[in-house]
Amino acid sequence: MTTAILKQPTEPVEPTAARKPNRSFVHGLITNKKALVGMIVMLVFIALALLAPVLFPGDPSRITAMASLEPSPEHWLGTTAKGQDVLALTVHASRSSLFVGLTVGFASTFIGILVGLASAYFGKFIDEALSLVTNVFLLLPGLPLLVILAAFLPPGLGTVILVLVVTGWAGSARVLRSQALSIRSKDFVAAAVVSGERAGRIMFREILPNMASIVMSTLLACVIYGIGAQAGLEFLGLGDVSTVSWGNNLFWAGNEGALLTGSWWVFVPSGVCIALVAFALALINYAVDEVTNPRLRKIKTPKITERSAAK
């Protein structure tokens, strides 16, 4: 209980005992309205991403001569200054953006888990060392580091992912480490150590499952970071300019002076998509918080609380 104040605000209170929390957790998520909305939105985008080549066959970035057409029945979202169909570009772009976002999210979280578990289990020396490395990376200015790495490594999706993971892992590592440490101090872990369980088993079968909700939170946050940071990099022209992605769409929109010519239809869709995906993930994150921390759940009857009784 006393550790609750010291944690990050979005961390849930300490997890329940070492039962399998997953079943009720998943059930809680599905019935939660916010999570539902978020998951539906995500599923829609993932479906669009997977079906893009079917829905919009051909190369969406093919340069033709029809320039900057307004939305019309042939082009629902109009065309860019280079004659590309904006709707096709937007849907195709979801592939790259989601791919990079998810990869960065999973990679950062995975590294964070390793760091967290290693710190928690191996204790003193390794913990200090890992914590030092984490803090050094946290101290490095993120965006400038991103800009440098992205500007000068060979362009390509691999570079973008690498760069984002390098700048993003420290945040998740810190959160996961402090959570792992607090679980480490629990009795059931001490019991497992004393009863001679192997290190790997302790880390992955005892500690990790109890961090499930915060791992999920971290994962979602890292994915959001991945998508947003990729868009920022690409807007500066530092991403992989040859791929079709939301950030690159915005980059080209800026270069072709979309807003200057009043071609808002080139500029708006990709931004809205990024916002929707980030928002959907945030909703799911929100819901995870609520499910694991019952106090955060929506109160159905707000009027009568203990507060008013005191008056």
Partner 1 sequence: MEETVRFILRRLGFYLIAFWASITLNFLLPRFMPGDPVSRMFARTQGKMQPEQIDALRKLLGVDDRPLWEQYIDYLHNIVTGNMGISISRFPAPVTEVIAAQIGWTLLLGGTALVIAAVVGNLLGILAAWRRGGAIDSALPPVLIFIGSFPYFWLAMGALYLFGVILGWSPLRHAFTDGLEPAFTWEFIGDVGAHLVLPALTIVLVSIGGWMLGMRNTMIATNSEDYITMAEAKGLRPGRIMFRYAARNAMLPSVTSFGMSLGFVVGGAMLTEVVFAYPGVGYQLLNAVQGLDYPLMQGLFLTITAAVLLANFLVDILYVRLDPRVRSN
Partner 2 sequence: MTQPRYLRSARITAAGLAVGALLLTGCAATVNKSGTSSSTSDNTNAMLTIPREDMSTFDRNFNPFAPAVNPMVNQAIYEPLLVFNPAKGDTTPWLATEWKTAADGKSITFTLRDGVKWSDGKPLVADDVAYTFELQKKLKGGYEYLVGATAEGTNKVTFTFNKPWSPALYEVGQLPILPKHIWSAIADPAKDANATPVGTGPYTEVDSFQAQSYALKKNPNYWQPEKQKIAGIKMLAMSGNDAANLASVNGDVDWSTQFIPNIEKTFISKDKEHRHYWFPPTGAMINWQLNTTKAPFNDPKVRKALSMAVDRDQVTKIGMSGYAQPADCTGLSGNYEKWKNPAVKDNCSWTKLNVDEANKVLDEAGYPKGADGKRTLKDGMPFEFKISVGASSSDWLSVANVISQNLQAVGVTAKVDSPDWASVVAGYEQGTFDSGIVWSANDPSPFKYFNNAMGSATVKPVGTKTFDNYHRFGDPKADALLQDFVAAGDEAKQKDVAYKLQEEYNDAAPLVPLFSGPEWGDYTDVHFTGWPSQDNPYATLSDRSPTTVLILTTLEPRK
Residues making contact with partner 1 (CB under 8 A)? 1-2, 4-10, 13, 34, 132, 135-136, 139-145, 147-149, 151-152, 224, 228, 231-232, 235-236, 247, 250, 254, 259, 267, 271-272, 274-279, 282-283, 286, 289, 293, 295-296, 298-302, 305-307, 310-311
- The entry of partner 2, partner 1, none near residue 283 (CB within 5 to 8 angstroms by kind) is partner 1
Q: Which is nearer to partner 2, 42 or 100 (CB)?
A: 100
Shortest distance, position 1 Cβ to partner 2, whole Å? 26
Q: Which residues pair with 113 in a beta bridge?
A: none
Contact 239, 247 (CB under 8 A): yes
Please pick, from the candidates 8, 24, 185, 242, the single residue that binds partner 2 as defined by CB under 8 A.
Answer: 242
Does 152 sit near partner 2 (CB under 8 A)? yes
φ, ψ for residue 61 (rounded to 5)? -95, 15
Residue 309 CB: number of other CB atoms within 10 A?
7
Select from partner 2, partner 1, none the partner in contact with residue 82, using the beta carbon and a kind-dependent cut-off of 5 to 8 Å.
partner 2
CA dist., res. 297 & res. 35, Å (int): 12
Give the count of beta carbons closer than 10 Å to the beta carbon of residue 2. 5
Q: Which helix (H) or strand (E) holds 102?
A: helix 86-122
311 touching partner 2, by CB under 8 A? yes
Binding mask 153-192 for partner 2 (x = CB under 8 A): -xx-------------------------------------
Per the DSSP assignment, residues forming a β-bridge with 79 are 85
Q: Sort residue 147 into left (φ over 0), alpha (ψ -120 to 50) or beta.
A: alpha
Q: Which residue lies nearer to partner 2 by CB, 123 or 262?
A: 262
Tokens found for residue 143? 């965006």
Question: What part of residues 80-109 is at the interface with partner 2 (CB under 8 A)?
Answer: 81-83
Give the residue with the Cβ less far from partner 2, 148 or 275. Answer: 148
Q: From partner 2, partner 1, none, which one binds at residue 307 (CB under 5 to 8 Å depending on kind)? A: partner 1
Give me the amino acid identity at 262: G
The DSSP secondary-structure symbol of 68 reads S
- Residue 255: C-alpha distances to residues 70, 158, 252 (Å): 18, 24, 5
**Whats the size of the chain, residue-wise?**
311
Interatomic CA distance for residues 231 and 210, integer angstroms = 33
5 binds partner 2 (CB under 8 A): no
**Does residue number 309 form part of the binding site for partner 2 (CB under 8 A)?**
no
Nearer to partner 1 among residue 23 and residue 307 (C-beta) = 307
| Least distance (Å) between residue 228 CB and partner 1 | 6
Q: Which is nearer to partner 2, 181 or 253 (CB)?
A: 253
Tokens of 215: 């791992």
DSSP-derived 3-state class of residue 85: strand
Nearest-angstrom CA–CA distance, 241 and 154 = 12
Among 37, 44, 151, 268, binds partner 2 (CB under 8 A): 151
Residues within the interface to partner 2 (CB under 8 A): 61-63, 65, 67-68, 81-83, 151-152, 154-155, 237-238, 241-242, 252, 254-257, 260-262, 308, 311
